[in-house]
Structure 1
Amino acid sequence: MKKVKLTSLLVLFALVIITLPILGAESIKLTEEEAVELALENNNQIESLRREVKIAEKQVDIARSSFYPQLDLGAGYTRLGEAPELSVGEGSQDIFTTSLDLELPLYTGGQRSIGYQQAQKGVLAAQKELEEKKKDLAYQVSEQYYNLLKAKDMVQVSKKSLERIEDYVQTAEANYEVGIFTRTNLLQAQTQKLQAEQGFLRAKNGAKLAELALKNTLNLPRETEVELVKQLDWEEKGYQFDKVKEIAFNNRLDLELLELNREIVELNLERKKGEAHPNLFLSGNYEAQDDSFTVDGDWRVSLGLSYNLYDGGERRAELVQIEEELDILDLRSDDLKGLIELEIEEALLKVSETREGIKLMELSLEKAEENLKENKASYRQGLITTNDLLEAEATYQQIKSDYLSAIYDYNLAVAKLYQVKGIGR
């Protein structure tokens, strides 16, 4: 009997050990920073760009290989239909050949060096694109994180409002029984309770959708429960246009990418000019041929020179085309800088607007709370109608919701400003 009990305990213990990781995987606590890191680890677009960086790095290896000699080993076998007749007798129908070829460019007008530099610039460009996508994703996660915070707070606002209205219904029922309230007052309270229940349900659904959106971005399973560590609050900060502009112009990846593209095009221009120079190369060959495989053969070394004398004006036209591309990049750079300044101005105005909105909503919320408190006291005494109290409740709930939205808008405006500056939070 004891043996059976011991076996049962061991089985139960094993089941608990197996189940613990599964239970642990169903819930996750996240700060905003942890949410961003998780998104960066799991996002497929980020992983795709990481692989693009690796591809660009291999292009550097390919470009580097042009500085080394090319060595080829060859071997062949030929079977003749008839043995050839030789002056000293009959030859063999079997012919075996072995060859070794070497080629080394000595001078290419700088094209190998330029190609290598372009490949290195390509790696930098791929890295910048990866970093830019990371910052865009970080802003998206911050937006969804604060949206979920707001949605969860809206659930609590709706829940507390429902609880207060349920209390109003009880008061209305008590006052109706003693003849202080009419049946209309009671029906108004009961109707408002039904509406509050619907509002509570909508708030919960909104929070559920906000959580699903965040989990989708973080690439988490739908059944995972996400608990946010941070609260929906705000911290007043001040920003100056010139300082923000300086930071943005030093950190915006789109500006850096445009400058990298310009450098690549400039290298292409140098490369095209280098085609006007002669190419000098060294080549060597060793070849052996006999009726059996052998290494006893002949060798030769050649020094070659090639120079394009006339191409029908193709190179000149390509040079003009590249110069036009450089001019276009300069125009795009000016446009982008102007656009960045506009984005900075817009972001700063949004931060200022939402900051002042919070302060106004704080004052309004304080007055709404006092008004609701006074109306609740008067309602219990039967001094005001149900409709009067419900109006005060609706006003308070609307202002509370607007207050939460103002905090959300401010945090989002600050996150947008950091994105405009080209730096993380």
Structure 2
Amino acid sequence: MKKTTFLLLIILACNSLFAINLDEAKNIARENNKYFLSQKANLNQAKWNEYNAITNFLPKFSLDGTMVRLDYDTYNKANQFSASPYYIPLVDDQGNPAPFPLPLSAMSGSIYKTTYTSQLTIQQPIFNGGKIFIGHQIAKLAKEQALLNLKSGKNDLDYQVAETYLNLLKLSDVKKISEKALASSKAHLKMVTDKYEQGIVKKSDVLQWKVKVENDKIALEEVNNSIEILKTLWKDLLGLKNSDNLPMPDEIDFMQHENEIQKYAEIKEEEMDKKVDNILTQAERTNPDIKSLEIVKKISKKGYLIAKGNFLPSINLQFQKQFESDDKLDFDGEDSWNLVAVASFPVFQSGANLTNLKRSKYEYLKTKLQMDDAKDKILMGTKNSFYNLVTKAKKVNSAKVAFENAKENHKILNDLYEQGMVTNTELLDAEIILFGGEMNLTSAYYDYILAKYNLDKFVGEQK
């Protein structure tokens, strides 16, 4: 996909008006959109957090070295004291006391002006109330949640791209219709002006068409402004802010959606509930936001279990091996070792463990209720999205009928006007109805396609 996106960008650099389809636009956005890229970075962070949690099970090794240098006074006093003999009480072969002098330095070790000490320390956790094990489970769940958030971010980005893509196309089509409406108004103005000069129509008829022309000009200008504003959002979504070349959406063939539109428009009332139930079941199974909510509840429950673990003892081992303790840094002096097992029992913590447990319990309950409420809202949004899709499909059919009637009405009134059988106002109304009907039909098609993408986002089926 990266190679394809790279080739697209090269082509775009050669042609600023290059048209791309929706899938190509999504690929470009996924490669460049900053928010989506931050979601990818968040997933990598969660992976390394899980690896870090695994290290809590493993022993920790550390090699320490110290150098202690005494000042002259301390060193001299220490040597004088250590040189003083300590007499060990002994008796000779006659049974008479015969104390044996032994220097203190012989018992305590030599005293050096500079002492080097090197030792290896190994620490191994044995049991800590389940905190290490649960901590790893939380890190693993957090990684799963980050992956689901990435999928949700992808669905949201794809929908935003589709929405902007379709709105750009809709505005482009509306612009064409507005240009036709303006051209038609100008043509009618010329025709009415000619008739006015011949004394056939009133001046008010000419003025009405002049007003219509000016209104059409303003409407066209507003459409152009809306397109430029939307292009800014389009560039931001694609991550092409610093690019001078902006790819524009390729045209969509509405006829590709006709069969699907008719299927939803003609759906029977008794089939609706069954269809909704199937969609909600699928959403519960595939919607990444719903699955992420379930993980949030699990993580909160793990926090409650950690609070329970504060009542349990902790056991840890520590081994130390001293390599040297003399006046030379050669790892060849006095050595020793020790193995320590530390067991800690939380006998009384002034109620801290109990209050923390209660806090975690209600925090879990709060999270569970909030997540269930959020899930209900997502499913409600899914249901509403389906009903909206059906409504949009029916709206397409209604708009088609209305536009056909508007065309026929305009043709009849235009012919009658040329024969002087209808008023100028009636022709103006027919003109407005005609181009308004065409805009409504165009908008209805785009609204249906967008509603379909919205439903796909809720169900979690964005391609």
What is the TM-score with the length of structure 2 in the denominator? 0.79
For residue 178 of structure 1, report the CA deviation from its aligned partner: 4.2
Do structure 1's residue 290 and structure 2's residue 326 form an aligned pair? yes
The match for 1:8 is: none
Q: How many residues align?
A: 406
Aligned mate of 1:136, from 152, 156, 167: 156
Q: CA deviation at 1:80?
A: 1.2
The residue number in structure 1 matching 2:189 is 169
Q: What are the Cα deviations for residues 46-81 of structure 1, in whole angstroms up to 9, with x where unaligned?
A: 222222222222221221111221111111222211
User: Could you say what the CA RMSD is over the residues aligned between the two structures, in angstroms?
Assistant: 2.7
- Residue correspondence of structure 1 range 190-269 to structure 2 within 5 A: 190-221=210-241, 223-231=244-252, 233=254, 234=257, 235-236=260-261, 237-238=263-264, 240-269=275-304
2:247 match: secondary structure: strand
Worse overlay, 241-250 or 84-93: 84-93
Q: Which residue of 1 aligns with 2:427?
A: 389
Q: Offset at 1:393?
A: 0.8
Q: Is the partner of 1:308 in helix, strand or coil?
A: coil
Identity of aligned residues (%): 24
Q: Cα offset for 1:337?
A: 4.0
Match of 1:9 in 2: none
User: Residue 67 of structure 1: which of 47, 52, 57 is its match?
Assistant: 57
The answer to whether residue 312 in structure 2 is matched with residue 277 in structure 1 is: yes
C-alpha spacing 1:25/1:282, structure 2 compared with 1 (3 Å):
farther
CA distance 1:291–1:25, shift in 2 (3 Å): farther
Structure 1 residue 414 displacement after superposition: 2.1
**Cα 1:265–1:391, aligned 2, differ >3 Å: closer, same or farther?**
closer
Provide the rounded CA distance (Å) in 2 between the counterparts of 1:226 and 1:381: 49
The answer to whether structure 1 residue 106 and structure 2 residue 126 are counterparts is yes
CA contact (8 A) 1:146 1:412 kept: yes
Q: Counterpart of 1:406 in 2: which secondary structure?
A: helix
Q: Output the amino acid matched with 1:319.
A: L
C-alpha distance in structure 2 between counterparts of 1:23 and 1:111, whole Å: 55
Higher mean Cα deviation, 81-90 or 123-132? 81-90
Give the Cα separation in 2 of the matches to 1:274 and 1:107.
10
Deviations 1:197-221 (A, max 9, x none): 2322222222222222222222224
> What is the CA-CA distance between 1:390 and the residue it aligns to?
2.2
Alignment partners' CA distance in 2, 1:345 and 1:55: 35
Partner SS for 1:117: helix
Q: 1:328 aligns with which of 358, 361, 366?
A: 366
Unaligned segments of structure 2, at least 5 residues: 1-9, 84-102, 265-271
Instruction: Quote how far apart the aligned CAs of 1:144 are.
Output: 1.5
1:147 correspondence with 2:185: no
1:124 maps onto 2:144 in alignment: yes
1:34 is matched with which residue: 24, 28, 43? Answer: 24
Structure 1: which 5+ runs fail to align?
A: 1-19
| Cα offsets for 1:87-135 (capped at 9, x unmatched) | 2799542222212111112333433222111111111122222222222
2:357 alignment partner in structure 1: 319
Cα 1:121–1:341 change in 2 (3 A) is: closer
Q: Which of 406, 430, 446 is residue 368 of structure 1 equivalent to? A: 406
CA distance, structure 2, for counterparts of residue 273 and residue 190 of structure 1: 81
C-alpha deviation, 1:267, in angstroms: 2.4
CA distance in 1, matches of 2:318, 2:120: 11
Q: Work out whether residues 121 and 319 of structure 2, in 8 Å CA contact, stay in contact via their aligned partners in 1.
A: yes
Q: Give the aligned residue type for 2:416.
A: S
Q: Deviations over 1:180-230 (max 9, x none)?
A: 344443443344333322322222222222222222222224743432113
Larger deviation: 213-222 or 87-96?
A: 87-96
Residue 339 in structure 1 maps to residue 377 in structure 2: yes
**C-alpha distance in 1, partners of 2:15/2:141?**
43
CA distance in 2, matches of 1:152, 1:127: 37
Measured against aligned partners, the alpha-carbon deviations of 1:236-280 in whole angstroms (never above 9, x if no partner) come to: 154711111101111223322221122223323333333433333
- Kindly indicate whether the alpha-carbon contact (under 8 Å) linking 2:307 and 2:360 is maintained by their aligned counterparts in 1: no
Which protein is bigger by CA-based radius of gyration? Answer: 2
Distance in 2 (CA, whole Å) between partners of 1:362 and 1:80 is 99
Q: Could you list the per-position Cα deviations for residues 297-349 of structure 1 after superposition, in whole angstroms to 9, with x for gaps in the alignment?
A: 22222333322222233223323332323333332344234323432332222
